[in-house]
């Protein structure tokens, strides 16, 4: 029997937060279908890169335009 190793590749794009502009409103956290972005200690949002699929919903909802969707390095 041949064993298969499944490697889950990360999405090509991911969300990047500009902490200087984040108002910690929580809108991004509310719309993320992956639970990949959370407001950290009421200060600014942070992205879990392992979960983010770069869908852009958070960026579209952000009233401060603090989230950009970028190609992973």
CA angle, residues 62, 63, 64, in degrees to nearest 5: 90
How far apart, in whole angstroms, are the C-alpha atoms of residue 31 and residue 21? 19
Burial (0-12, 13-18, 19+ Cβ within 10 Å), 53: middle
Nearest distance, CB of residue 63 and ligand SF4, angstroms: 6
Binding string, residues 8-47; x marks residues near ligand SF4 by CB under 6 A: -------x-x----xxxxxxx---x-x-xx-x-----x-x
Nearest distance, CB of residue 65 and ligand SF4, angstroms: 8
- Which residues contribute to the site for ligand SF4 (CB under 6 A)? 15, 17, 22-28, 32, 34, 36-37, 39, 45, 47, 52-58, 61-62, 64, 66-67, 69
């Amino acid at each position: 029997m041949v064993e298969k190793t499944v490697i889950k590749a990360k999405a090509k794009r991911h969300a990047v937060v500009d902490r200087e502009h984040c108002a910690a409103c929580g809108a991004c956290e509310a719309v993320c279908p992956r639970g990949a972005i959370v407001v950290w200690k009421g200060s600014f949002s942070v992205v879990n890169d392992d979960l983010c699929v770069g869908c852009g919903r958070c960026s579209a909802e952000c009233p401060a335009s603090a989230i950009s969707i970028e190609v992973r390095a």
